[in-house]
Amino acid sequence: MFLFSGIFFPINALPSWAQKLAFFTPLYHIVVVCRNLVVGRTNSDVTISATLVIIISLVFFLMPIALMKRRLIK
């Protein structure tokens, strides 16, 4: 995930298929939020990335709870 997140080099240097793949990794969105906040920019990229990170976090927080409840009830 480090390779496709844009931590070490810009995503623009990757091929187009890798840029599309990078958009679906959560670390890419965290990097976008952190970089823009450190520089002091708050634009639509920050809002979109922060929203996606929150949604991904909620899904991966609530999904195991629901699966464990279902498994324990059986």
* Per-residue model confidence as pLDDT tens digits over 23-52: 888 999 999 999 999 999 888 889 999 999
CA distance 46 to 34: 9
First to last CA, the chain: 36
Give the residue-averaged pLDDT of 10-26. 89
pLDDT at 5: 84
Q: Considering only CA atoms, which of 18, 59, 38 is closest in space to residue 46?
A: 38
pTM: 0.77
More confident residue, 41 or 74: 41
pLDDT at 34: 93
Residues in the chain: 74
